[in-house]
Structure 1
Amino acid sequence: MAMKDVARRNWGRWGADDEQGALNLVDAKKVLEAVDLVRQGRIVSLAQPVGPKAGAPPHRNRGSRFMDRDAGDYALGARSPGGFRFAEDTVQMSTHSGTHVDALAHVWTGDKLYNGHPSTQLRSTTGAQKLGADKLRPVLTRGILVDLVDAFGGPLEPSTPIGSAELIEACSRSNVTPLPGDAVLLHTGWWQSQGGNASYFDLEPGLSDDGARWLADHDVALVGADNYAVEVQPDPDGKNFPVHLRLLHGEGIPLIENLDLHELAMAGAPTFLFVLSPIPLQGSTGSPVTPLAVL
């Protein structure tokens, strides 16, 4: 996709130095309106399990765990002053493993990152000096569940594109419309039907470029899905990750990948308080997260 094909409506919208993109839309008024949605006091985790046993696409390393101290150390004679014993471990994994949010430094085209920041700000020795995960501030906003499973009678088939027509149909059935600053979550049923299988990382149903444009037109702050890349794979027009380029690079809208939306869908709550708190990993291009829906 050539750079001229990517809309850049939010470049400069919040100033030349902006690194937060569409998260700027979540202001104090939006937070207070979202908190007012809570009725039951029920908290639903939207995260998939993560760790060494979790799957990973072929181009990423699987996670690994190293026990720094465990029961075996004491069996071999490690000191236990006063009977106190402890266990600790170190986990290594890609910041794009499991449920995570893509920072705005994750993708680009040409030689400019989101908002015109030069791509030279992204180096293997320093990480992302601009637009990294440490620039993704915590978010409380209105969440919308776009339940495509309910709208179309079951989990979507492999490589099903979700365009504006499908989004409009699903939103109409739930009587919701995306508003500026919303977090829009797409329930495709892909994790429900394929989670834990190698096929989860191949031929996923997901957002098309047309659907991404429709969401951007509604000025949403975040987009997430219960698949590994948010967008349909492969792209029906033969482009390389056009949704990533449109939303992350062009609009400054972070993407949340690998959600588990089944419990939320079963709760029948199309709108809710959405909570997201990325780990401020300095220079990283993404952050593991445990998003929450508060009903």
Structure 2
Amino acid sequence: MPNVTPTEDEVAGWFDRYSNWGRWGAEDLLGTLNHITPSMRAAAARTVEHGRSVSCAWDVRMNALDDGGRIQSQRMMLRTGLGYRDGGEEDVSPAGARAVDGHLGTASEIISMAFHGRPITHIDALSHIFWKGRMYNDVPSAYVTDRDGATVHDVRTVAGGIQARGVLLDVARAQGRDWLDPREPVFPEHLEAAERAQGVTVGPGDVLLVRTGEGARRTNGDWNPALNGSPGLHVACVPWLSERQVAVLGADCPQEVTPSGYENLKLPLHGIAMAAMGLWLIDNCQLEDLGATCAELDRWHFFFSLGPLRLTGATGSPVNPLALF
């Protein structure tokens, strides 16, 4: 597939062209997860040979700032281990006794987070994105309310988790590079070059993970996407994703290249993929460990498993995606 940059009008027209509204029924909530069949899940599970499990998530750091200078996660301790004399039995905390009984104590906390953003690995529910006031399958955006959150398309749609064959396309490695440059787009030809280099083909029902090397830059390089932008898939990949019948798309960035290069379409891949296609997205995966494991085993497919928190009305969830070999 040639590297062709569509015009803004062409991209806007893709919303209808690649829409899955009504494809699986007027009440469908799963979107592209319909591509994953029970037999596909079972076949993917049977590929586990080594018993090795690799996490594809970043640590959630408390009180850390995102690239826009906002605090993403906070912790407030309710009970701690402070207030006991070393080797003694008397509680010296001015707040009073902390022990449950004469022997047992506990620690607990409250965690709050704004997981939509770059620091936290998370899945976007189909209520996260609107296109001209509509969510996937023609659901009005007004169904996401200030009182109840997402009353349709909340993250509990995937309460049973996502299990499928996962494929890593390591675009940076296929080009012999540690990472792609900020603002560098990934086109279908780059995805297909990675397929050829790795001897793997993305097919129906696959969870596709794309490594740009942004994770390596995040820990070892000059990482400032708010200022410099970031690499990612160009919206020109939408037809490719549709044709391959990808069930879930994840990346080591929020999937798409930023800035988009279009004046009036700031996040065109998100808009068309989620609101039109019903394609579930996993943002900010930590793919450095997975890339190293795939290279070591010379195997770029695996059993993929993910389970979100069952948050009522939530437009997504922090997640810890797992790749099993």
Query: What TM-score do you get using the length of structure 1 for normalisation?
Result: 0.93
1:242 corresponds in structure 2 to 268
1:139 corresponding residue in structure 2: 162
2:123 corresponding residue in structure 1 = 101
Supply the AA of the counterpart residue of 2:248.
L
1:176 counterpart = 2:186: no
Once structures 1 and 2 are overlaid, which stretch shifts more, 200-209 or 39-48?
200-209
For residue 62 of structure 1, report the CA deviation from its aligned partner.
Answer: 2.3
Check whether the contact 1:95–1:285 (CA below 8 A) recurs between aligned residues: no
The one-letter amino acid of 2:256's match is E
Q: What per-residue deviation string (whole Å, max 9, x for no partner) do you get for residues 107-159 of structure 1? A: 11112210011122111111111111111241110000001121111111111
The higher radius of gyration belongs to 2
After superposition, the Cα gap between the structure-2 partners of 1:18 and 1:60, relative to the gap in structure 1 and judged at 3 Å, is farther
How far apart are the structure 2 equivalents of 1:112 and 1:166?
32
Match of 1:214 among 240, 253, 258: 240
Question: Counterpart of 2:262 in structure 1: which amino acid?
Answer: D
Q: Are the equivalent residues in 1 in contact too, given 2:64–2:71 (CA < 8 A)?
A: no
Give the Å deviation of 1:4. Answer: 4.4
* Counterpart secondary structure, 1:167: helix
Tell me the CA shift for residue 5 of structure 1: 4.2
Hey, what's the Cα distance between the residues in 2 that align with 1:34 and 1:214?
22
Q: Which AA in structure 1 matches 2:49?
A: R
Matched residue, 1:11 = 21
Measured in 2, the distance between the counterparts of 1:263 and 1:190 equals: 13
Partner residue in 2 for 1:82: 102
* 2-structure distance, mates of 1:53, 1:120: 32
**1:138-287 aligned within 5 A:** 138-154=161-177, 155-195=179-219, 199-201=224-226, 202-227=228-253, 229-238=254-263, 239-267=265-293, 268=295, 269-287=299-317
Residues 247-269 of structure 1 show CA distances to partners (whole Å, capped at 9, x for unaligned) of: 11111111101111111111123
Query: What letter corresponds to residue 166 of structure 1 in structure 2?
Result: H
Amino acid at match of 1:206: G
**8 Å CA contact retained: 1:146, 1:167:** yes
Structure 1 CA distance for aligned equivalents of residues 258 and 82 of structure 2: 45
Counterpart residue number, 2:88: none
The correspondence for 2:80, drawn from 70, 73, 77, is 70
Say which SS state the counterpart of residue 283 (structure 1) adopts: coil
- Taking the aligned partners of 1:200 and 1:9, their CA distance within structure 2 comes to 30
SS of aligned partner of 2:323 = strand
Question: Structure 2 CA distance, aligned partners of 1:180 and 1:14?
Answer: 16
Query: SS at the partner of 2:224?
Result: helix
- RMSD of aligned C-alpha atoms? 1.9
CA contact (8 A) 1:213 1:246 kept: no
Q: SS state of the match for residue 184, structure 1? A: strand
CA distance in 2, matches of 1:253, 1:235: 19
Distance 1:60 1:216, change over 3 A: farther
Distance in 2 (alpha carbons) for counterparts of 1:29 and 1:54: 42
Amino acid at match of 2:67: P
DSSP 3-state at the match of 2:134: coil
Decide whether the 8 Å contact of 1:12 with 1:115 is kept in 2.
Answer: yes
Q: CA separation in 2, counterparts of 1:29 and 1:14?
A: 19
Structure 2, unmatched stretches of 5+, are 1-7, 84-90
Matches of 1:277 and 1:33, distance apart in 2: 19
Q: Distance in 1 between matches of 2:148 and 2:48?
A: 41
Superposed CA offset, 1:34-64 (max 9, x none): 1121111100011101131544132754211
Give the residue type in structure 1 aligned to 2:140: P
1:24, 1:75 → 2: CA distance?
58
Residue identity matched to 1:89: E
Distance 1:59 1:5, change over 3 A: farther
Paired letter, 1:41: G
CA distance in 1, matches of 2:76, 2:163: 34
In 2, the alpha carbon distance for the partners of 1:284 and 1:57 equals 23
CA contact (8 A) 2:204 2:244 kept: yes
Q: Following the alignment from structure 2 to structure 1, what is the Cα–Cα distance between the partners of residues 98 and 133? A: 56
